[in-house]
Copies of this chain bind each other. A is one copy, B any other.
Amino acid sequence: MHIGRQTWLFKNKPVIISTGTVVGPDEGEGPLASTFDFIHDDLDMQEKSWEKAERKLLEQATELAVLNAKLKDDDINYFVGGDLLNQIISNSFAARKLGIPYLGVFGACSTAMESLAVASLLVDTGNAKYAMAGTCSHNCTAEKQFRYPTEYGSQKPPTAQYTVTGAGAAVVAQQGEGPRVIAATIGKVIDFGITDPFNMGAAMAPAAVDTIQTHIQDLKRKASDYDLIVTGDLAKVGHAIAKDLFAQNNFSLEGTVFNDCGLMVFDTEKQAVQAGGSGCGCSAVVTYGHILQRMKKGELKRVLIAATGALLSPLSYQQGETIPSISHAVTLEMEDAT
């Protein structure tokens, strides 16, 4: 059901019955290591190219999500996913292996929650019994595609972000045990005129703030109704800007915890990740690993995840364009949340 300005309220509260999270070595040395299903100890993952390694991450995450749901691939009606690689090849190739009807979606790093929102919509409206959302990123594929040849090892400013090597998948069902998807807000494209691709957190912060405020207003809630509000990958710079923008808008964050998946996935003091993590895999592995585990333990009852995406391409940047950004948000609740 459409409510407010741009929010889907899921009357039947679809359930995330299972997840799969697979990450690379840096994430395996980060503070959330124990929450991932599988940690690769190198970036190659026995594949001949980083692109094949990225695809393997997603294939493994989706395989785990299906297995953990005690289902077979054929039971899943639709697979919804996308990634940062040109023509979202990681997802398309993984969908070929899965053989599940496939909806490719793209919102840069916001794809993590865009795919969960669409999968939940399909289940909520009876257009699927089971739908799987999945997304991934790999540090070396993003580096070579968006920045410089990876081997070049170029130096970066401290505002830059470090793409997460990881994939997360979730199976959404009409019935079952687990956190429920209550509502989703589809973001608008917002552009504050940032042109520096080494400062994507700043570019994305206004979109995150707009979507979070809209989501909470559309649901007639306040921030304090949430145990946790997280953005996707604003990292240090973007997170600080987002807090400033909330203050400017007189939108109170009192009574909630406001954090960012890009700050949670790495130890930004000890690991060489500049301002923090980014990538389609970032909010996916943090949400489907750490956050859902805390919800299941009863530590968090209601959580808002606003994944963030910078909608640039290397070509749009080279042609002097600014960086349009978007954020898609999802509210998750454990059954007994009030």
Contact = CB atoms under 8 A, between A and B. Distances in A.
A96 B189 contact: yes
Given A2-B77, A96-B191, A101-B188, A106 B125 contact: no
A270 B52 CA distance: 43
Q: How many copies does the complex hold?
A: 2
Interface stretch (A82-90, A198-206, A250-258): A82-90
A43 interface: no
Nearest to A84: B87
Nearest to A88: B106
Interface of A: 1-2, 5-6, 8, 48-49, 51-52, 77-78, 82, 84-89, 92-93, 95-96, 99-108, 114, 118, 121-122, 125-129, 185-191, 311-316, 319, 321, 324, 326
B78 A6 contact: yes
A330 to B, nearest CB: 14
A92 B310 CA distance: 10
A171 to B, nearest CB: 16
A311 B83 CA distance: 13
Contacts of A189: 92-93, 95-96, 99, 102
A87 B313 contact: yes
A134 B263 CA distance: 36
A104 B102 contact: no
B102 A105 contact: no
Given A51-B315, A93-B324, A103 B105 contact: yes
A51 to B, nearest CB: 6
Given A1-B126, A89-B313, A93-B324, 8 more contacts: A85-B315, A87-B108, A87-B313, A88-B106, A102-B107, A102-B186, A102-B189, A104-B326
Given A89-B313, A313-B87, A316-B51, A105 B108 contact: no
29 contacts: A6-B77, A6-B101, A8-B127, A48-B319, A51-B319, A78-B186, A82-B106, A84-B87, A85-B313, A85-B315, A86-B313, A87-B106, A87-B313, A87-B316, A88-B106, A89-B313, A89-B315, A92-B326, A93-B316, A93-B324, A95-B188, A96-B311, A99-B188, A100-B188, A101-B185, A103-B107, A104-B105, A106-B106, A125-B125
A127 B315 CA distance: 35
A146 to B, nearest CB: 9
